Amino acid sequence: MDNREYSYFQAFKQIARTANSPLPLKSVLNAAAKSAAKGLKAAGCSIMLLNPQKEYLDVISAYGLSDLYIRKGVLKANKSLPEVLNGELVAIFDFAQDERTQYPDAAEMEGISSVLAAPIMQKGEVIGEIRIYTREPRQFSQVDKDFLTAVANIVAVSLEKNELYQVLKTEHEETVTKRRKLVETPKLPSSSLRPSSFGHPSEQEFAKLLDFYRIEWLHEPRSFPLAWQDGKVVEMFTPDFYLPELDLYIELTTLKQSLITEKNRKLRRLRELYPDISIKLLNKSDYLRLLAKYGYGGLGGTKVKGVDRVLFSHTQIQRRVKALAKRISHDYMGRKLVLVGILKGVMCFMADLMQHITLPLNVDFMSISYYGTNNESAVKITKDLDISIAGLDVLMVEDIVDTGMTLNYVLNHLAAHNPASLHVCTLLDKRVRRLVDVPLDYIGFEIPDEFIVGYGLDYHGEYRNLPFIGMLKPELIEEEGKK
C-alpha cells in the first residue's frame, strides 16, 4: 500500500468507526469532515444539506475553514454546482474563477484553489453535498473521487440512522404518553442538525417560535466584514438569524443599553457597506410584532393560545393556493367558470384562490345548516345560489372535506341545475374520515384525523382569523366536536 492509499485507509477507518459509535450526529459529521480533509491531504471540508424545499444549502459541519468563510452567505441550490445536485461529482481546478462559484471573493480571501464536491444521496435522491478544498491547484484523481464518494455514502447512512433513531424515539414517547399518531407534515430541517447551543437563551426562544410557525431559518449563515486593515478583516458582524422566506437578517437584542448602542453602530456600518441587505434589530416585543406583520402569530401575541402546533404556515398555504390556481387557470381556459363556496369556512381559501386564477370568473356562495330529525341528522340549504348556473362550468370550492356528507348533498343539489360541468377543489382532504365517496379534482393538502383551526376553520366560532392552519390542543376538544 503506498503512502496515499494508506492515508485514505486511515481516514476511512476513522470515519467508519465514528459513524458506528454512540456519538451524537454532529460529532460524527465533524469527524467525517476532518478525516475526509486529512485523507485527501486537503485544507478543508464542508458538509452541506439541502433545505426541504431544495432552495439552498446549509453548512452543517466544516473543518479547516475560517468562520468568515463558513458564514460567507446563503448558498442558493440552483446556482451552487448544479451538477452535484443532479447526482454528479464535480472537480473544479480554479474555484475563485469558476462562474458557478457564488462567493469568489470569499474563496480568494480564504486561499481556496481547487474544490472537489460529491453528492450525498439517500434513496436515490440528493439531500446535500460534501466538499473538499485545497490551497494548491489540484487535478483530482479517480481515487480521490472514489474516496470522497465513499465518505459521502457514510455521511448519508449516518444521517439516515439518526433520522430513524429520532422517529423511533418519538414513536416510543408517543406510545408512552398515548399521544396521537405522528402527523406527516412538511419536514423542517432535523432538529439534531440545528445549533446545539445558541449564544443567548433569547435566540433559542426565537428559534422555537419560528419553528412553531414553520418559518424556515438559518442560524448565523453569514458574517459581514465591517472594517479592514492591511487587507485583513479586523471587524465583522454576524447576525443571529436569516429568514430565507422573507430575505431578512435578524439580530436579537437584550435590554442591556451598552450592547444595544454597539450593535446599532455595527448595523449602521453594515447598512452603509451592504445597502441591499435587509436586516432588523429586534427585542422580544419587536419580534412578536414582526411575526404578526408577516402573517404569522395571532395579532402580535406569542404562540396562539389553544393551538398545539402549526400544521401549515401562511407561506406554505399561499404557495399551495397559487399552485392550485395555476392548474385551474390552465384547465378552465376559454370556459365559463363559476366558483361556488359554502359559508363560512371557505372564505379565506376562496378569497386567495380567486385572486390567483387568471381567468374571468363569477363567484357565488351557499349556506347550509345541519339539523337532527328523530334518529338521523339532515342538511338544509339556508341560502341558495343567487345566479343561475345552467350551462356554466361550476367549480365547488371547499375548505375541508371530512365525512363528505356536505359535499355530496351540495353536489347533488347543483347537478340538478344543469351546469355544463361540475368539479371540486378543496384545500384540505381529511380522507381517513370519509363516509361518502365524493370525487375531488383539486386537493391542497391531505391531512390526518386531527382537529384543525385557522384560515377560515373554526372551533365554536373562534380561530377563523388565524393566518395559518394549526392543530387544536387535544384537551380543548369536546368529544363530539371533532372535525
What are the catalytic residues? 402
3-state secondary structure of 397: strand
Structural Rg of the chain based on CA atoms: 27
Minimum Å gap between C-beta 296 and ligand PRP is: 23
Question: Which residue from 52, 70, 54 is spatially nearest to 62, judged by alpha carbons?
Answer: 70
The residues that touch ligand PRP, with contacts defined as CB under 6 A, are 342-346, 398-407, 458, 483
Minimum Å gap between C-beta 429 and ligand PRP is: 10
CB closer to ligand PRP out of 273 and 436 = 436
CB closer to ligand PRP out of 251 and 398 = 398
3-state secondary structure of 105: helix
The cell for 389 is 348556473
Residue nearest to ligand PRP (CB): 345
Query: Are 392 and 385 a contacting pair, CB within 8 Å?
Result: no
Question: Which residue from 333, 311, 281, 351 is spatially nearest to 452, judged by alpha carbons?
Answer: 311
Give CA–CA dist 75/57, Å, rounded.
5
Residues 6+ apart with CB under 8 A from 429: 400, 401, 440, 443, 444, 445, 446, 447
Minimum Å gap between C-beta 316 and ligand PRP is: 20
Give CA–CA dist 287/302, Å, rounded.
10
CB closer to ligand PRP out of 240 and 429 = 429
Give CA–CA dist 109/71, Å, rounded.
13
CB closer to ligand PRP out of 46 and 426 = 426
Tracing cell 446545539 back to the chain, one arrives at 196
Minimum Å gap between C-beta 479 and ligand PRP is: 16
Give CA–CA dist 180/58, Å, rounded.
32
Give CA–CA dist 221/241, Å, rounded.
7
The cell for 448 is 390526518
CB closer to ligand PRP out of 265 and 482 = 482
Minimum Å gap between C-beta 466 and ligand PRP is: 13
Give CA–CA dist 95/431, Å, rounded.
51
Minimum Å gap between C-beta 433 and ligand PRP is: 7
Residues 6+ apart with CB under 8 A from 483: 400, 402, 451
CB closer to ligand PRP out of 326 and 383 = 383
